[in-house]
Structure 1
Amino acid sequence: MKKVQYRSGNKDDLFQLQKLFVESILNICSKDYTEAQIKKWASGSKDEKRWEEIISQQLVIVAESNQSIIGFGTLDRQNCIDLLYVSSKYLRLGIAKQICLRLEKDAIDRDVKKLVSHVSITARPFFESLGFDLVRENLIKRDDVEFKNYTFEKNL
């Protein structure tokens, strides 16, 4: 693998971000969620309005290798790490950690005191390893499908 480069995301990245979102959910989260949950979660890639808002209103950090996006994370205006996804082909290489450190640096530079994230079962150990604290377990309902996730916080 060539060197991983990190940069700010832009509207030209939208298709690759949506594709990576689906690939990551399908290939990484299936051990923690049912087929129905995975299908509903991945269908979020089709919400064009939401993705346009992500690109235009959130800080988006992308990780690239060989001119392909292999990971991305976003920080919304409420200082919530909204999205964090890495390709299943590039796990455990420190990519998600580097993205989170860049999001955290932006928050610190803006004098933010706390980051929040709503974290999947799959991502829970990762966020714990970065010093985030569990606040609560959540049961989220999308249409007729329920999901468990967790709210985490980290004081900066």
Structure 2
Amino acid sequence: MIEIREATLEDIPFITTIFRDTITNVNAKDYSEKQIRQWASGASDIDQWKDRIANSYFIVAELNDTIVGFAYLSKGNYFDGLFVHKDFLRRGFGIKLMRIIESQALAEGYEVIKADVSITALPFFEDQYYIVEKKQKKNYKGLAFEIFKVYKEL
């Protein structure tokens, strides 16, 4: 049974492990080794994770008391992150997290939700009716990453 709940600071070790493992195992097919290393290093910025949990609508998905994914919404309608453990992909966790994030944006009065998504995540978002606004380069810690600015009318 999937349980969704708001994240706590005690969840950070599990969240950062999923973040790092997803990038190094799933996103590695679409980005260079250097990009993967740089992106995955974001798991070590504990203060940033604390800030995200404190200042975003941040939820985790649990299966049998084990965190298997997380998502967070910032600035009311910016879908800032969605990560599912590599061993739990294509089992409905991502869609469930996405629907709750979308519902939260709608509850906050927004009619459109926006996100910047990786090459890897783009097909998943497109399958859920997100529309590509534009392809762009985003600088992260000195490296350029190809990402897609997407949106969905709620």
Q: Structures share a fold, TM > 0.5?
A: yes
Structure 2 residue 13 is matched with structure 1 residue 18: no
Q: How does 1:51-62 map to 2 (within 5 A)?
A: 51-62=49-60
What's the offset of the Cα at 1:116? Answer: 0.5
> 2:47 aligns to what?
49
What's the offset of the Cα at 1:78? Answer: 4.0
Structure 2: which amino acid aligns with 1:91?
A: L
Structure 2 residue 123 is matched with structure 1 residue 125: yes
Structure 2: which amino acid aligns with 1:25?
A: I
| CA RMSD of superposed structures (Å) | 1.1
Counterparts of 2:76 and 2:135 in 1: how far apart (Å)? 20
Contact 1:135 1:150 in 2 (8 A): yes
Q: Percent identity?
A: 31
Counterparts of 1:7 and 1:142 in 2: how far apart (Å)? 29
Counterparts of 1:61 and 1:48 in 2: how far apart (Å)? 17
Counting matched residue pairs gives 154
> 1:134 aligns to what?
132
TM-score by length of 1: 0.94
Counterparts of 1:147 and 1:109 in 2: how far apart (Å)? 32
> 1:105 aligns to what?
103
Give deviations 1:93-130, integer Å, cap 9, x for gaps. Answer: 11100000001111112221110000000000011011
> 1:114 aligns to what?
112
What's the offset of the Cα at 1:52? Answer: 1.2
TM-score by length of 2: 0.95
What's the offset of the Cα at 1:68? Answer: 1.2
